[in-house]
Amino acid sequence: MIRSELIQKIADENPHLYQRDVERIVNTIFEEIIEAMSRGDRVELRGFGAFSVKKRDARAGRNPRTGESVAVEEKHVPFFKTGKRLRDRLNGK
């Protein structure tokens, strides 16, 4: 499912809301998650999962084409851990 499909599904299930309002709501939710993560905060949606940021230390990598050693800088990457309800649903429980 992509963002536009999510917006359409929510709009279809809530006919009292205008599509542009649903779009604004969905975009606001995503922006708030992004903002929180960019500050290094953890975002938890009970039953669904938790978004957090993990730090990857600098390391020595290899160029696969030449085999030459290259320095890979420290970086922060998004991480998602599924919630119990989502995990159970995926596993048919």
**What is the per-residue pLDDT across 3-42, written as a single tens digit (0 to 9) for each?**
999 999 999 999 999 999 999 999 999 999 999 999 999 9
Which sequence spans correspond to the domains of the chain? Answer: 3-91
Question: What predicted TM-score, i.e. pTM, was given to this entire model?
Answer: 0.78
Cβ atoms of residues 83 and 46 within 8 Å: yes
Question: Which superfamily is assigned to 3-91 in CATH?
Answer: IHF-like DNA-binding proteins (4.10.520.10)
- Return the DSSP state at 37: H
The confidence score (pLDDT) of residue 40 equals 92
What average pLDDT score do residues 79-91 get? 94
* pLDDT category of residue 93 using cuts at 50, 70 and 90: confident
Fill in the amino acid letter for 65.
R
CA quadruple 8, 4, 6, 31: dihedral positive or negative?
negative
Residue 53 near residue 40 (C-beta atoms within 8 A)? yes
